[in-house]
Amino acid sequence: MTEKIGKIGKIEGIVDSDNTQRFDDDALHFDAAINPYGCSPRVVEAIEEFARTRVYRFYGEPTAAVLRERWAARFDLAPDNFVVYNGAGEALAWLFITHLVMRKGRLIAPSPSYERFIEAGRRVGAEVIEVPLEADSFALPVERIIKAARENRATLGLISNPNNPTGNILLSREHLDRLLNEVPECLWIVDEAYADYAGITFAPLVREHKNLVVLRTFSKAYGLAGLRVGAAIAHRSVAAPLAALRIPWCVNSLSLVAACAALEDHAYLEETVARIRHDCAEFGERLSEISYLKIYPSAANFFLLQLTVLNDEQRLKQILIEGNMRVRSRPDMPGYIRVTSLLPQDNRRFLAVLREFEAHGEKV
Interface ranges with ligand PLP (CB under 6 A) = 33, 87-89, 114, 160, 164, 191, 193, 217, 219, 225, 230
Contact indicator for 295, 284 with CB cutoff of 8 Å: yes
Q: Which is nearer to ligand PLP, 32 or 351 (CB)?
A: 32
Q: Which is nearer to ligand PLP, 193 or 238 (CB)?
A: 193
Which run of H or E residues covers position 302?
Answer: strand 302-307
Q: Which is nearer to ligand PLP, 89 or 112 (CB)?
A: 89
Helix axes 253-264, 266-287, angle to 10 degrees: 80
Which run of H or E residues covers position 45?
Answer: helix 41-52
CB of 221 to ligand PLP, least distance (A): 11
CB of 174 to ligand PLP, least distance (A): 22
Q: Which is nearer to ligand PLP, 263 or 364 (CB)?
A: 263
Q: At residue 336, what are phi and psi to the nearest 5 degrees?
A: -120, 145
Q: Are strands 187-191 and 212-217 parallel, antiparallel or unpaired?
A: parallel
Q: Which is nearer to ligand PLP, 105 or 230 (CB)?
A: 230
Kindly report the length of the chain.
364
Q: Which is nearer to ligand PLP, 305 or 364 (CB)?
A: 305
CB of 37 to ligand PLP, least distance (A): 17
CB of 172 to ligand PLP, least distance (A): 18
CB of 70 to ligand PLP, least distance (A): 18
CB of 356 to ligand PLP, least distance (A): 30
Cα 245 to its chain centre, rounded Å, is: 24
**Among candidates 164, 172, 215, 184, which has minimal Cα distance to 336?**
164
Residue 22 burial by Cβ neighbours in a 10 Å radius (0-12, 13-18, 19+): exposed
Q: Which is nearer to ligand PLP, 114 or 188 (CB)?
A: 114
Q: Which is nearer to ligand PLP, 192 or 346 (CB)?
A: 192
Contact indicator for 189, 159 with CB cutoff of 8 Å: yes
Q: What residue number has its CB nearest to ligand PLP?
A: 87
Task: Please give the Cα distance from 292 to 294 (Å, whole number).
Answer: 7
CB of 314 to ligand PLP, least distance (A): 22
Rg (CA), the chain: 21
CB of 337 to ligand PLP, least distance (A): 15
Contact indicator for 193, 302 with CB cutoff of 8 Å: no
Task: Please give the Cα distance from 128 to 125 (Å, whole number).
Answer: 9
